[in-house]
Amino acid sequence: MPLITVRFYSLWRSYLGTDSTTLQAERIDDALTQLEEKFGDRLREKLETAGIRLEGKMEDYSLILLNGIALRNLKSTELREGDVLHIFPPGIGG
């Protein structure tokens, strides 16, 4: 099963207290499920501490790139050894 790296950026990195993790998954949706199980609650707890309550899963309020390609239409893509998922909150404010 391919070993991939997940990199967290900006608020997600500080809220999760780490800049990366590795996991083994065949497909992107498997990887997202593992990410949600491992980090979803921790992220939402931190957000709630900051007064922000979000419904849904991490992937619903994150930008996610697979090797630099936006994920939205790639969920069923098969992963390869060494792939990198980048995950961070979308930029909105100004």
Partner 1 sequence: MESSTADKDIGRYIARSAESYLAPDGKRLPVISLKTTASVANAQGISAKEVEIAALKQGIVPRRYLRNMGTIGLAGQIRLLQSSVAVVGAGGLGSTAIELLARQGIGHLIIIDNDRFTESDLNRQIMSTERNLDRYKVTVAARRVRKINSATTVTTFREKLSEENVPNLLGGAQVVVDGLDNLPSRLVVEQACRRLAIPYVYASIGGFSGQLMTIFPEDAGLSLLFESSSNTMSEQGIETKIGNPSATPAMIAAMQVQEVVKIITGIGTPVRNRVLLVDASEFAIDGIELRR
| Residue of the chain from 1, 26, 52, 78 that contacts partner 1 (CB under 8 A) | 52
| Residue of the chain from 10, 24, 26, 80 that contacts partner 1 (CB under 8 A) | 10
Please give the structure tokens belonging to residue 32.
């997202």
Question: Rg for the chain (alpha carbons), in Å?
Answer: 13
Give Cβ neighbours of residue 72 (< 8 Å, ≥ 6 apart).
none
Task: Name the residue with tokens 């404010």.
Answer: 93
Q: Does 68 bind partner 1 (CB under 8 A)?
A: yes
Residue 51 Cβ vs partner 1, minimum distance, rounded to whole Å: 7
Contact predicate 54/47, CB 8 Å: yes
User: Using CB under 8 A as the criterion, which residues of the chain lie in contact with partner 1 when the complex forms?
Assistant: 7, 9-11, 13-14, 19, 47, 50-52, 54, 56, 60-61, 63, 65, 67-73, 86, 88-94
